[in-house]
Structure 1
Amino acid sequence: MKNLRMIGACGEDLAFTYLESLGYHILEKNFRCKIGEIDLIAQHNESIVFIEVKYRRTLSYGYPCEAVHRTKQKTISKVALYYLKKYNLFDSSCRFDVVEIIQNKDETQIHLIQNAFMV
């Protein structure tokens, strides 16, 4: 399990750097509450963006974004609602993005999927 956390942290660090290069301002990393966790929360233009990061070394189990299934989306949306309540940001525009990272020994591919899902 420790190894999986290290891999996840590596993916989140890659996503953090990538998103900052695109003009995202990262507000939170690994935001946790009793409901669950959101990998990254950022401000991009006028929107609060809740970001799930998925990392794979191989496509044997499908594309990383395919792991953000309906159950995961519901959890992310509930944590996002908690965050909006906590910081009184109900008037803010928000969206849900996914960063998928595919990294093998030869290359690293990073894809940003804006508005990856709606709630």
Structure 2
Amino acid sequence: MRPSRLEVAKIGETFAAAHLKNKGYHILAQNYRASRGEIDLVAKDRDFIVFVEVKTRRSLKFGLPQEAVTPRKQQQISKIALAYLQERNLLETPCRFDVIAIRLSYHLKLLRLEHIKNAFEFQEEK
């Protein structure tokens, strides 16, 4: 039976979290939810709060995983990140937005993991 998109996404997020931990990041939240959506991972990298969008693909039929982080998606992530920082009184803490792009095989084995640091800047609502 073919795995659902949600199952594929969860597997990708598991690989991404393990990658970050192996690089010395501290995971602060997984699937942080706010009224406008969710951020896959929130981590601490030295002095930075890092908001991580994980995109996982089993095929390139619809493009590279990172191409799914559109300007609209960046704006949504920015709003949620702002809510996270406000809730925790961390507005003065430096932060960045990373993307982890994951390719899985048909059998859900990791083929490629690309960690794109500073993938985009905070996007204000227009």
Q: Same fold (TM over 0.5)?
A: yes
How far apart are the structure 2 equivalents of 1:59 and 1:117? 22
Task: Tell me the SS of whatever aligns to 1:91.
Answer: coil
**Structure 1: 4+ residue segments shifted above 2 A:** none
How far apart are the structure 2 equivalents of 1:107 and 1:40? 19
Aligned-pair distance for 1:107? Answer: 5.1
Structure 2 residue identity aligned to 1:45 = R
2:116 equivalent in structure 1: 113
1:23 equivalent in structure 2: 24
Question: Aligned-pair RMSD on alpha carbons?
Answer: 1.3
Stretches of structure 1 that go unaligned for 5 or more consecutive residues are none
1:72 equivalent in structure 2: 73
TM-score by length of 1: 0.95
TM-score by length of 2: 0.89
Aligned-pair distance for 1:9? Answer: 0.6
- CA shift digits 1:41-81 (9 cap, x unpaired): 00001100000000011111111000000010000000000
2:8 equivalent in structure 1: 7
Task: Tell me the SS of whatever aligns to 1:115.
Answer: strand
Q: Are the aligned partners of 2:103 and 2:113 in contact in 1 as well (CA < 8 Å)?
A: yes
How far apart are the structure 1 equivalents of 2:110 and 2:76? 32
Identity %: 44
| Number of residue pairs the alignment of both structures matches | 118
